[in-house]
Amino acid sequence: MTAHRAQWKGHLKVGELTCAVGLYTAASTSERISFHMLNGKTGNRLKRELIDSETEEVVERDQQVKGFETGNGEYIMIDPEEVAAVMPESDKMLEAEAFIPCGDVDDVYFDRPYFLVPADEEANDAFTSIRDALSKTNSTAIARTVLFRRMRTVLIRPHGNGLIATTLNFDYEVRPSEEAFKDVVKVKVEGEMLDLAKHIIGTKIGDFDPGKTDDRYETALAALVKAKAEGKSLPKPKPVKVSKPNDLLKALRESAGMGSGSSGKPKAANANSGKKKSSTTSSKSKTTHRKAS
């Protein structure tokens, strides 16, 4: 039903309803500015070479094999192509195993989003029923299948007229937030401090369109390169002044005063500012810097 190429084709099953569907990449990653590696002494470009970690001899491609580490520098050799070949043919069935209320999903597990689309006209009825049942119950569906040569869990949720399936990271790939935050010193926040901070936030509540952010790093880097090439001395980064605990209340009071004074006009420099001009230049120049070796 779309001109794009499906990443995966199969069936979506919820309860007794089944329909033919396709998965399509919903997001791509643009490249960052990359540098070339040089030899500082000669100014020549660098190349990478693979060498034996012990004998230091160059290892040519046909001598390279894959292996798993069993510990203490011991390896089991293995042919990854055979591993891939042995994965059983998937039954190509995305079957909802469980449903999770939208608010209960831990988004930290999110990996990549895919548009989930009915494969043909015939699939439309079942597909729209699944979409609207999920949306009416404010639920997401959990399904598991062999995807891209791995057994992957995906989270399926309604989005516009279609569905989005997000692959989820495996349990061992995600560090739970409770664990990451367990050493944080507990500070009780109340009274005037909290009220002031709430007030400051209140003055800054607004709209935001994530699609309209540009990348200003490239422009800033180009300016730096120009200065260096012209032999100018580079500016030292200004030290950042940290609020001292004793001054925190004062800083909050001053901030709150500032906020109410200019409440009609939020200060510039919000995340969407300056979008028009630099977004076009940055996307254009993105292609001129190829990835370094």
- Interacting positions 91-150 with another protein (CB under 8 A): 91, 95-101, 104-110, 113, 115, 117-118, 124-134, 136-137, 139, 141-142, 144, 146, 150
Block residue for tokens 């009274």: 191
State the minimum distance, in angstroms, from the CB of residue 225 to another protein: 5
Binds another protein by CB under 8 A, chosen from 9, 148, 201, 263 = 201
CA gyration radius for the chain?
Answer: 27
Nearest one of 210, 177, 29, 183 to 108, comparing CA atoms = 177
Does position 43 interact with another protein (CB under 8 A)? The reply is: yes
Least Å distance, CB 239 to another protein, is: 10
Give the residue, chosen from 148, 223, 274, 277, that forms a contact with another protein under the rule CB under 8 A. 223
Asked if 9 interacts with another protein (CB under 8 A), we say no
User: Is residue 8 close enough to count as binding another protein by CB under 8 A?
Assistant: no
Alpha-carbon distance of 275 to 212, in angstroms, equals 7
Any contact of residue 20 with another protein (CB under 8 A)? no
Contact between 221 and another protein (CB under 8 A)? yes
Closest distance to another protein from the beta carbon of 281 (Å): 14
The residue to which tokens 């057994």 are assigned: 151
* Residue whose CB is less far from another protein, 53 or 265: 53
- Reference 10, options 213, 129, 180, 156; nearest CA is 156
**Whose Cβ is closer to another protein: residue 54's or residue 265's?**
54
CA 224 to the chain's CA centroid: 28
Cβ neighbour number for residue 157 with a 10 Å cutoff: 20
Closest CA to 20 of 130, 138, 107: 130
- Interface with another protein in residues 57-76 (CB under 8 A): 59, 63-76
- Nearest to 139, CA basis, from 97, 94, 93, 177: 97
* Binding-site member from 122, 148, 177, 285 for another protein (CB under 8 A): 177
- How far apart CA 56 and CA 197 sit, in angstroms, is 59
Task: By CB under 8 A, name the one of 9, 122, 148, 217 that touches another protein.
Answer: 217
Q: Least separation, in Å, of the C-beta of 57 and another protein?
A: 8
CA–CA dist 16, 13 (Å, integer): 7
Q: Is 186 in the site for another protein (CB under 8 A)?
A: yes
How far is residue 242's CA from residue 250's CA, in Å, rounded to a whole number? Answer: 13
Q: Which is nearer to another protein, 53 or 264 (CB)?
A: 53
User: Is 13 an interacting residue with respect to another protein (CB under 8 A)?
Assistant: no
Could you tell me which of 23, 25, 31, 27 has the C-alpha nearest to residue 210? Answer: 27
